[in-house]
Amino acid sequence: SQFWVQMLADLFQLPISILGTTDGPAFGAALTAGVGVGAWDSFADTSSVIQTISTIDPIQNPQFHAKYLKWRNWMETAPFVKN
């Protein structure tokens, strides 16, 4: 949904491209297999067959980002998190 995609874009502070297919996981698996068998030399070479219908840009929210950094710092120092 639009909500979840926007939330991920905001969290990672990266744009997220929406594919022109409803079979995203299967399409990704097919591209991975194609790279594996040599149909493409690299994942970058698969860009010619990937159709995006829109891109969701992150919303810059300093308060949200500050809370995310606080959580991330806590996770890095939490005793129950093992490396």
For residue range 57-72, what is the model confidence (pLDDT) as tens digits?
A: 999 888 888 888 898 8
**DSSP structure string for 26-77:** HHHHHHHHHHHHTSSSSGGGGGGG--EEEEEPPP--HHHHHHHHHHHHHHHH
Sign of the alpha-carbon dihedral angle for 42, 33, 27, 20: positive
Residues of the chain with pLDDT under 50: none
pLDDT computed for residue 79 by the predictor: 80
pTM: 0.61
pLDDT computed for residue 83 by the predictor: 60
Query: Each residue of 11-41: b (16+ CB within 10 Å) or e?
Result: eeeeebeeeeeeeeeebeeebeeebeeeebe
